[in-house]
Amino acid sequence: MRFFKKTNIDFLSIRRRWYMVSGAVILAGMISLSVKGIDYGIDFRGGTEVLFSFSRKLEVAEIRGALTTVGLGNSEIKSYGTEGNMLVRTTEQAEGNVVGDKIRLAIQQSFPDVRFEVLKEYRIWPKIGAELRRDALYAIIASLVAILLYIAIRFQFSYGVGAVLALFHDVLVTLGIISILDGLIPVNLEITQEVIAAFLTLVGVSVNDTVVVFDRIRENIKIYRSLSLAEVMNRSLNDTLSRTIITNGSILLVLVILLLFGGDSTRGFAFALTIGQITGTYSSIYIASAVVLDSSLRKKKPAQA
């Protein structure tokens, strides 16, 4: 079976259009980030978080009423996951387990008829959040630098720049989309340690795709010496199209499976990876390769690999 015979699509001639689309999407994401922000999980803000499973459904308002009796009325309360579990989260800090105990006590006293189970309980100092933010930033920057260097060495500097810009684009778009969709879909899109890991992973997976395209370009430049860079790149993109669709398709497939079947705890993580995977495929063509092309055109020299 094959999906494609030899194709000859001119990808790069319409790249300016796609630059604008990317720009627009990133802009929308940034606006959403500044207006709506994103849901920082307890990892970042510190505080206490308790996940309850109730024998009968309790409304947010009811729970809030119960919490007010112990002075925790302005906690965040929301449903978590797909089974009606409720999450209570507050940034209140106190010695020991006081906050967690208070929450449990309040629920117990206010709803004596309801049996509940504490599925998980987390308590974090705010100091950790600051560290996590710092470490996450370092990790992302370190990844981008490492990749820039490796690709610059194995290919050429402009390729490194193209690849890193593509990755940057992927991270921004994913972040923006998470912000936009937060609250609109029944997936927990709070930013936790795992979600940061998902961002780093999508950097790793997206670059994988970009490098395969670059490898083919590198090979084809040697073969098709008479063609312009744009033509060689298009040729390379077409040559690898089959592989691109299949591999990215199969990765997308397993990510969607993870999203649907992996349980509530990994849903945010899987979602970030899924979005990242989609933009990653796109960015290998319309950011990475396009940037390399444009930078070489500006230098008015053929970019030999």
Partner 1 sequence: MRNQLSRLVLIACAVILAVYSLWPTYQDYRYRKALESLTGQDSIAYFEQNEGDIATAKEKRVKLGLDLQGGMRVVLEVDLLQLIDDLAKNEDDNFRRMIGEVRNEAMRADIPIIPVFAKKFQDGGIRLSRFYRNIRDDDATIISWLESEAEKAVDRAIEIVRNRVDQYRVSEPNIQKQGARRIIVELPGVKDENEVRQLLQGTAKLEFRMMKDPDISFRVLESIDKFLTGRTTDTLAAREKKAEKPEEKPKDALTELLGGTQQPAPTDTSQETKVLREHPFLSYLRFDQRSGEAFVRDKDRDRIIRLLTRADIQNTLPPDFEYLWSAKTLTFADGYKYYTLFPLKKAPELTGGVIIDARASVNPEDNRPVVNMEMNSEGAREWSRVTGANIGKRVAIVLDNGVFSAPTIIGKIPGGHSQITGIDSPNEARLLEIVLRAGALPAPVAIIEQRSVGPSLGEDSVRSGLSASLIAFAFTVLFMVLYYSKAGIVADIALLFNMLFLLGVMAGFKATLTLPGIAGIVLTIGMAVDANVLINERIREELITGKTLRAAVDAGYVKAFSAIFDSNITTFLTGLILYQFGTGPVQGFALTLMIGIVASMFSAIIITRVTFNLMMDRGLQPSFG
Stretch that binds partner 1, among 15-23, 65-73, 114-122, 220-228 (CB under 8 A): 114-122
Residues 48-77 that bind partner 1 (CB under 8 A): 51, 53
Angle at 288 between CA 286 and CA 292, to 5 degrees: 110
Q: For residues 85 and 119, is the Cβ–Cβ distance under 8 A?
A: yes
How many residues touch partner 1 under the rule CB under 8 A: the total is 71
Q: Of the candidates 194, 227, 297, 305, which one interacts with partner 1 according to CB under 8 A?
A: 194
**223 makes contact with partner 1 (CB under 8 A):** no
Q: Looking at beta carbons only, is 136 or 180 nearer to partner 1?
A: 136
Q: Residue 128 corresponds to which tokens in the numbers above?
A: 């950790």
**227 makes contact with partner 1 (CB under 8 A):** no
Residue 84 falls in which region: left (phi positive, over 0), alpha (psi -120 to 50) or beta: left
Q: Residue 78 corresponds to which tokens in the numbers above?
A: 């929301």
Distance between CA atoms of residues 119 and 122, nearest Å = 10
Site track for partner 1 across 11-50, x = CB under 8 A: ----------------------------------------
Q: Supply the minimum distance, in Å, between the C-beta of residue 173 and partner 1.
A: 18
**216 makes contact with partner 1 (CB under 8 A):** yes
Residues 241-280 that bind partner 1 (CB under 8 A): 242-243, 246-247, 250-255, 257-258, 261-263, 265-266, 269-270, 273
Q: Side chain identity at 145, as an amino acid letter?
A: V
Strand 85-90 to 76-80 pairing: antiparallel
Distance between CA atoms of residues 39 and 265, nearest Å = 16
Q: Of the candidates 86, 107, 151, 166, which one interacts with partner 1 according to CB under 8 A?
A: 151
Enter the DSSP assignment of 284.
Answer: I
